[in-house]
Amino acid sequence: MSPLTYIFGWPILMALVLMAVPRENRSVFRWGAILATLGSLVLALFVFAKFEPINDLTSINHGYAFVQTAEWIPSLGISFHVGVDGVSMLLVLMAALVAFAAACCAGGIKAREKEFSILLLLMTGGILGAFMALDIFLMYFLHELALIPTFIMIGVWGRGENREFAAYKTTLYLSLGALLALVGLIMIYLHYETFNLPEIIHRVQSTQPDLMTTGQQGLIFALLMFGLGILVGLWPFHTWAPLAYGAAPTATAMMHAGVIKKFGLFMIIRVALPILPDGAQQWLPVLAWLCLGNLLYCGLVAMRQRDLNGLIGNSSVAHMGFVFLGIASMTLIGLTGAVMVMVAHGLLAALAFALSGHLHQQARTLDMDKLGGLLTVMPFWGTLLLMALLAGCGLPGFANFAGEITVFFGAWKTMPLITGIAAWAALVIGAVYMLRAARQLLHGPRADDAPHTEDIPGWHKLPFIILLGALLLFGFAPKLLTNKIETARESLEHVVEMYKRK
Which of 438, 470, 471, 498 binds another protein (CB under 8 A)? It is 438
Mark residues 236-255: x for contact with another protein by CB under 8 A, - for none: xx-x---x------------
490 belongs to the binding site for another protein (CB under 8 A): no
| Helix-then-strand count for the chain, H and E | 24, 2
Q: Are strands 78-84 and 65-73 parallel, antiparallel or unpaired?
A: antiparallel
Toward another protein, which CB reaches closer, 38 or 435? 435
Toward another protein, which CB reaches closer, 56 or 193? 193
CA distance 5 to 138: 13
Terminal C-alpha separation, the chain: 42
Scanning residues 13 to 72, which ones bind another protein (CB under 8 A)?
none
Q: What are phi and psi of 71, to 5 degrees?
A: -75, 145
168 belongs to the binding site for another protein (CB under 8 A): yes
3-state secondary structure of 133: strand
Q: What are phi and psi of 168, to 5 degrees?
A: -75, -40
462 belongs to the binding site for another protein (CB under 8 A): no
Mark residues 384-423: x for contact with another protein by CB under 8 A, - for none: ------x--x-xxx---xx--xx-xx--xx--x--xx--x
Which of 23, 26, 50, 479 binds another protein (CB under 8 A)? It is 479
Binding piece for another protein, criterion CB under 8 A, among 1-9, 26-34, 196-204, 474-482: 474-482
312 belongs to the binding site for another protein (CB under 8 A): no
Q: Are 276 and 224 in contact (CB under 8 A)?
A: yes
Q: Are 294 and 321 in contact (CB under 8 A)?
A: yes
CA dihedral 86, 87, 93, 96 (to 10 degrees): -140
According to DSSP, residue 82 is labeled E
CA distance 42 to 48: 10
CA distance 188 to 198: 13
State in angstroms the smallest separation of the CB of 203 from another protein. Answer: 20
State in angstroms the smallest separation of the CB of 183 from another protein. Answer: 7
441 belongs to the binding site for another protein (CB under 8 A): no
- Size, binding site for another protein by CB under 8 A: 81
141 belongs to the binding site for another protein (CB under 8 A): yes
The Cα angle at residue 382 between residues 376 and 383, in degrees rounded to 5: 110
450 belongs to the binding site for another protein (CB under 8 A): no
Scanning residues 252 to 311, which ones bind another protein (CB under 8 A)?
297, 300-301, 303-304
Strand partners, 196: 135
Which of 332, 450, 462, 473 binds another protein (CB under 8 A)? It is 332
State in angstroms the smallest separation of the CB of 216 from another protein. Answer: 14
State in angstroms the smallest separation of the CB of 193 from another protein. Answer: 10
76 belongs to the binding site for another protein (CB under 8 A): yes
* Helix H or strand E segment including 69: strand 65-73
Which of 112, 202, 370, 461 binds another protein (CB under 8 A)? It is 112
State in angstroms the smallest separation of the CB of 454 from another protein. Answer: 19
Toward another protein, which CB reaches closer, 92 or 415? 415
175 belongs to the binding site for another protein (CB under 8 A): yes
501 belongs to the binding site for another protein (CB under 8 A): no
200 belongs to the binding site for another protein (CB under 8 A): no
Binding piece for another protein, criterion CB under 8 A, among 2-10, 244-252, 358-366, 425-433: 425-433
486 belongs to the binding site for another protein (CB under 8 A): yes
Scanning residues 345 to 364, which ones bind another protein (CB under 8 A)?
none
HEC string of 289-318 equals HHHHHHHHHHHHHHHCCCEHHHHHHHHHHH
State in angstroms the smallest separation of the CB of 439 from another protein. Answer: 5
Which of 74, 161, 190, 209 binds another protein (CB under 8 A)? It is 190
Around Cβ 52, how many Cβ atoms within 10 Å? 6
Q: Nearest CA to 246 among 178, 177, 185, 315?
A: 315
480 belongs to the binding site for another protein (CB under 8 A): no
Binding piece for another protein, criterion CB under 8 A, among 5-13, 64-72, 182-190, 219-227: 182-190
| 3-state helix vs strand vs coil in the chain, percent to 5 | 75, 5, 20
Binding piece for another protein, criterion CB under 8 A, among 4-12, 152-160, 269-277, 448-456: 152-160
148 belongs to the binding site for another protein (CB under 8 A): yes
Distances (CA, A) of 185 to 72, 182, 194: 18, 5, 11
Strand partners, 65: 84
Farthest CA pair distance, the chain:
74
CA distance 61 to 75: 22
